[in-house]
Amino acid sequence: MAGLLYTLRRLQVWLHQHIFKVGWLVLKNYETTTILYYAFFLPGVFLYELSYWFAAGLLNVRADRAIAWPERQEIGELKLSFVNLAPKTSPFRIAIITLIPFLTGLLIVSLIANSILNVQEFLSLLNNGYLTDVSAAINQFTSAQDFWLWLYITFTISNTSMPSMNDLRGLRGVLITVAVIAGILFVLGIGNEAVVAFLAGTATDALNNLAGVLAVIIGIDIFMVAVLGTIEAVIERITGDSATFKNGKMVTMRRAEMLEERAKERDRATRRSKTSPAPQLTIYQFPLPVPGPPGREAPTPAFEITPEQAALPGTSAAIRNAPAVISGSVSDKPTSSSTTSAQPFASPFASSPDDGDEEAENEVS
């Protein structure tokens, strides 16, 4: 259910925006486009506002009619405010009143799909999996009386009845209460039995029927996306005009400008994907000082940090701020106590240089 509702919401947003865009591409006038946009969804708007008004009356909430000519707008979104509730209405009642048009729209769509369009027979023919059955199913589905009229009514009703999430905030208390009760049941060890008992009967049938109705609406919306996208592409090629939506608002431009902007966005995305992150330097990547053999060689020079390594973002602040270490060679002769840090380590196992044994010196080296 959650996946179907999310998919339906995304499709509805795209459809509303691009229906408004097609209207502007044809008319080039925002006021006329707004009027025709509302007129296109008139069956759905009428059913939504009527259900809204009846729900307010059932809950004894004052509802005032505010029918007015739609104002000029630049967004593809219906502003369903033809019936206004009293200012002091509780959030819970607002949520219930908002939910009633959604349930009414689903009921009307279900009646049209099952009684007029015969969606169940259409789906049963598709389940056979044969190409001949697919063509027969499409012919049977489109041969219903006044098919295109009922398809249009179903489309407008289903795409205007989706409630606003802000208006449903009053149901949070109910959802929290249900969650607390469910948690208590699971703590007591009877949560699984309660869930199975709830889903075993009428609830499962209701959810399955609701999911089927949402699936029908999504199928119709996908069909309209294909039709609308084709019409939009043809008009853009003929007129050379186009538009895009930024933050819900339509921005008009030429088609060449839109294609150029899309190409730039693709190039930026490609560069971002090819750019590798900066290397993270660790202590294991630096050469550490290693002492030489006893009595012969000085320790290897301590590591030095180059300016390029210090500038890398992965280098820690302690390494970047450390002073440079300059190491030199140490002579074979012993030095004074003031230079003990560079004096080689004397070992009793080291060979004496006075024995003249060249082979021993080579082994030490």
Question: Per residue in 121-180, pLDDT tens?
Answer: 777 777 766 656 677 777 877 888 888 999 999 999 999 988 888 878 878 887 888 788
**Residue 332 forms beta bridges with which residues?**
none
* CA-to-CA dists, residue 154 to 137, 150, 161, 342, angstroms: 19, 6, 11, 90
Last residue of a domain, one of 216, 231, 260: 260
| 282 in the same domain as 248 | no
Which domain covers residue 287, as residue numbers?
277-330
| 246 in the same domain as 313 | no
Question: What residue ranges in 66-194 does DSSP mark as E strands?
Answer: 83-85
**347 Cβ neighbours under 8 A, 6+ residues apart:** 294, 295
Terminal-residue alpha carbon distance, the chain: 78
Interatomic CA distance for residues 154 and 144, integer angstroms: 14
Instruction: State both tokens at 286.
Output: 């630096």
Nearest to 122 by CA among 106, 105, 142: 142
Last residue of a domain, one of 233, 260, 287: 260
Check residue 270 and give left, alpha or beta (phi > 0: left; psi -120 to 50: alpha): alpha
Q: Which long-range contacts (CB under 8 A, 24 or more apart) does 141-147 make?
A: 141/117, 144/116, 144/117, 144/118, 145/116, 147/117
349 inside domain: no
159 inside domain: yes
| 135 in the same domain as 67 | yes
61 inside domain: yes
Interatomic CA distance for residues 139 and 192, integer angstroms: 46
Main-chain dihedrals φ then ψ at residue 84, nearest 5 degrees: -110, 135
| 211 in the same domain as 308 | no
Interatomic CA distance for residues 22 and 231, integer angstroms: 8
The residue with tokens 């609830």 is 203
| 235 in the same domain as 282 | no
Whether the full predicted model's pTM is greater than 0.85, yes or no, is no
| 191 in the same domain as 306 | no
**23 Cβ neighbours under 8 A, 6+ residues apart:** 32, 33, 36, 37, 40
Mean pLDDT of the chain: 76
Which strand (E) or helix (H) includes residue 246? strand 241-246
Q: What is the pLDDT of residues 8-32, one digit of tens each?
A: 889 999 999 999 999 988 988 889 9
| 180 in the same domain as 319 | no
| 110 in the same domain as 63 | yes
348 inside domain: no
Which strand (E) or helix (H) includes residue 250? strand 249-254
Check residue 356 and give left, alpha or beta (phi > 0: left; psi -120 to 50: alpha): left
355 inside domain: no
> What pLDDT, on a 0 to 100 scale, did the predictor assign at position 50?
92
Last residue of a domain, one of 228, 260, 292: 260
| 80 in the same domain as 220 | yes
| 292 in the same domain as 254 | no
| 240 in the same domain as 315 | no
* pLDDT tier at 356, thresholds 50, 70, 90: very low
Structural domains counted in the chain: 2
171 inside domain: yes
Nearest to 150 by CA among 39, 47, 43: 43
| 247 in the same domain as 293 | no
Average pLDDT over residues 244-262: 81
Q: What is the pLDDT of residues 61-98, one digit of tens each?
A: 888 887 788 888 888 888 888 888 888 888 888 889 99
